[in-house]
A = this chain, B = another copy of it.
């Protein structure tokens, strides 16, 4: 067994019709003016923006808006947000969107107090303070609504790096699964793959930690069931709720308790999308993870066999990998680098980018050559 700390202070308001509570929640925290961070405009189409604004107005909370956060969110937008937050004198940040919007909001909320926000991603400056953060979630995938993690891409240096601080946990996150019914299918599928991958990053580093292994298998099955149901009927509210809640638990500490975690597959995916920002995070993971399992499973055979048996009903790990790939394929996700339109010749550069800060993973420590092998399997 390993020691761990479980800390998940975010208050989650889950359910249909709860977005209108956002104003009163912000008011309870004594925040007067927020920076509203948003993406490309889908929240204007699905009514979420109008509900949020009405709630802010009703509670007398002022706001300024930062639009245009893109998938694989970038440092330049974070810098723009920090300037705007400083100029306008906000005392809180409100993210209305998915993981990219929340991660950008976390970087702004903490970055406003830093000399150089990017230095904190490189471990050169420490986050000591942050504006209170509130979240209205519009796509379940990254789990960012209920943790202290955030990932930003520096477009200039072509680095996509993760960051963490207990100070950027959202105070409140509102998850109304009904607003996700209008998502394009590929976003639902990418989100499901991202959530599954978060569970696998923890699970495969396990051994005797059976409580969390059982819970992780449960979340895996819940995500697969819910996504299969949504493939048949994107309007299925119960399946939306099940997928949304499982995606939150997949990265709020529950799936990772007792476990060391690996995270090499995420690092490899980050290198792919740092160099190819058009690759969605979930799609990249669908390509990388099966290849990573194929390369490393003999390093922790009992746990990979347990996963094969308890999730995929087979004793053979490689058969389980094929079933995972079929699942992704059924959902319309890519399962090869080729399908992401990458050239085989790019593999060394991706592997070099992935390992620039050192070896990856814990199940097997991966050097550049290992990452190249995994990418060749994935090709």
Contacts and interface: CB of A to CB of B under 8 A. Distances in A.
Interface in A1-49: 1-9, 11-18
11 contacts: A3-B13, A3-B14, A4-B14, A5-B14, A6-B14, A9-B9, A208-B238, A210-B226, A211-B243, A217-B218, A242-B258
Q: How many copies does the complex hold?
A: 2
A159 B284 CA distance: 59
A3 B254 CA distance: 20
Contacts of A13: 3, 5
A221 interface: yes
Contacts of A214: 218-219, 221-222
A177 to B, nearest CB: 7
Contact of A210 (B9, B14, B242, B257): B242
B226 A222 contact: no
Contacts of A208: 238, 242
Interface of A: 1-9, 11-18, 177, 208-212, 214-215, 217-219, 221-222, 225-226, 237-238, 241-243, 245-246, 249, 254, 257-258
A209 B14 contact: no
B5 A12 contact: yes
Contacts of A218: 214-215, 217-218
Contacts of A225: 210
A210 B226 CA distance: 8
B226 A219 contact: no
Nearest to A216: B218
